[in-house]
Structures are given as C-alpha cells and as structure tokens.
Amino acid sequence: MKRRNFIKSAAATGIVMTGLGNVVSASASNAVISNAAKFNLKYAPHLGTFNQHAGKDPVDNIKFIADQGFRAIFDNGLMKREPQVQEIIANEASRLGLDIGPFVLYADFQVKSFVFQDPEIKEMLKNTMQKGIEVQKRTGVKTALVVPGHFDDKLHWDYQTANVIENMRMCCDIVGKTGLELVMEPLNPHTNHPGLFLTRMPQAKMICVAVNHPSCKIVDDIYHQQITEGNLIPNIDMCWDYIGAFHVGDNPGRNEPTTGEINYKTIFKHIYNKGYQGVICCEHGKSIPGKEGELAFIKAYREVDSFEV
C-alpha cells in the first residue's frame, strides 16, 4: 500500500510541523517527511497508530513510522502473530534501523497466577517462557512484558510476594540463557486494572532485588504511575538500574503527550541526560480522530522531544 501525501495532509489540517527535517517529494501524491530529523529518544509508535496514512499492512506502517523520524516500534500482540509475519516485521524494522519494544509475553489480568506455587501454574509459565524464547529467536526482540496477575484475598500478602519472587526467578532462569529480559509492569488499580498484584514502582524494584537475576527488569509505564503514585522522576531515579523499558501516555485520557497533566518534556530530558538508550513505547490513544489525529500525535512528540541536548 502506498504511503499518503503527508505534507499535503498536514497543510489541510492546519497543523504546523516544526523540526521535521527535509521533505522528499517524489510526486504530489506520495510526498512524505524525511527521516533525516530523527528524534532524540526511541519513541515507539504501535503498529497501527498511523493506519489512516499507512493502511493496515505492518510493513507500510513501519516504513511510515521511520519516515517520520521515529527510531523504534512496538507491537504488544507480536507473540500472537504468525511466525512468518513476526519475521517480516523484524526484518523490515532491522532494515530501517528501528528497535522493537517489549512484546506481551504473559499478561492475564483475571487469573491468580504468580501469587501461588501451584504446579499447573508453574508448568504454564514454563511453557509460556519457551514460547517467548521462540519469538525472540525469530525477531531478536530483547525484552518481553510480564504482568504477575491478580492478587488473592485470602493468602497473606507477604506469602504472595514470596511466591511472585520465586516464580519470577524461575522464569528468568529459563529465558536468561538467551539474554531475553522480562520487564514486569506495575499497573494502576484505580482507573484501569483493579485487583492486580503489582501496582507500584517500589514494589517492582523490591521484587527485582529479591529475584537477583539480570533478566528481571521493570517497564515504567508513566501513565499508570502518575495515577498510582506520582513522584515520577524520583521513582525513575530510585528504580533506574532495573528499568528495561518505558511506556507513556498522558493523564487524564491516556492520549498523546501534551494532552494531559504530565510534563513529558521535562521527563524525557531527564532520562535522556541519564543516558537512556532503550525504547519508549507510545502505549496510548489519540485525542483527535482520523488523519488529523495522527498528525497531532507526531506534532506532540516533536514538542516534547524539543528539549536542549
């Protein structure tokens, strides 16, 4: 599928895009933004973010994302795609020099899993880790996301914590041989995910320290943590050695940066100055529908990426 006339669409919507680099104009019908003006950090749009401009084909989406100066992509559902499609996505991302953010390896929000030492659950987790290794072999993705599941109302919280630590250590022992990192995601219990065991950054760090395995990391979802605990930059600093990836979204609304209360420009400058080289997954919606919303998405990231370096 041909990529759309990005410049023409931007003019039509009245959105002014600054700092986007040179324009490559093959014709009036397929001009796109050059990827010469790359972002400072590896913001990673999800495949499908720009389907109004690029269509639904993953390869066309990856090309469009690269053309806008982004340096990474992510696909939560990568593990569920056909192996051949996984390889196609990985090859195209590699060809264009894009990193791929964490794929979802295990995230059953309804099941009480990691909080128990149940033989069937442990066997399920072992099999899931092996499937994750196969995805890594096909794609080269370095990180996989894990949500430890629901907490139990009857079992003492400390016993549940001990069980999560033991299960995470078991999973890390399995995937660690291949170099795959497991990033645990604390999720907010107030707006989106009531009942989950893992909700806070200090809790996640404590588990990582106890697991004591190089494959045990955290994905810091700034949207979720703004709701749960705030204090975003101090928590980033306290957990820095264990953060393997970031997710972002503004609050309220869970849309692109600049649409809510979070000062992403300051946060991004902070992690840039700390030397962060990993992926920042744009795990959020768009505040405006259609092509105009896709252009607003890019404009927002240009704005919050415009810090002094």
Q: What are phi and psi of 93, to 5 degrees?
A: -60, -45
Instruction: Give residue 264's pLDDT.
Output: 98
283 assigned to active site: yes
User: Whole-model pTM?
Assistant: 0.88
Q: Looking at 185, 229, 256, 308, which residue is catalytic?
A: 185
State the catalytic residue, choosing from 283, 292, 294, 308: 283
Nearest to 199 by CA among 190, 209, 189, 191: 189
How does pLDDT run across 22-59, given as a tens digit for each residue?
333 333 233 445 556 999 999 999 999 999 999 999 99
Per-residue pLDDT tens for 125-162?
A: 999 999 999 999 999 999 999 999 999 999 999 999 99
Strands 181-184 and 279-282: what pairing?
A: unpaired
- Complete domains list, the chain, with CATH: 39-304 (3.20.20.150)
Decide if 185 is catalytic: yes
Q: Determine the Cα–Cα distance for residues 78 and 132; give it in Å rounded to an integer.
A: 10
| Cα–Cα distance for residue pair 253/250, rounded to 1 Å | 7
User: C-alpha distances in angstroms, 187 versus 57, 122, 144, 149?
Assistant: 30, 23, 16, 10
Residue 250 and residue 300: Cα distance in Å, rounded? 11
Contact 224, 188 (CB under 8 A): yes
Q: Burial, 149: exposed, middle or buried (Cβ in 10 Å; 0-12, 13-18, 19+)?
A: buried
The pLDDT tens digits for 70-129 are 999 999 999 999 999 999 999 999 999 999 999 999 999 999 999 999 999 999 999 999
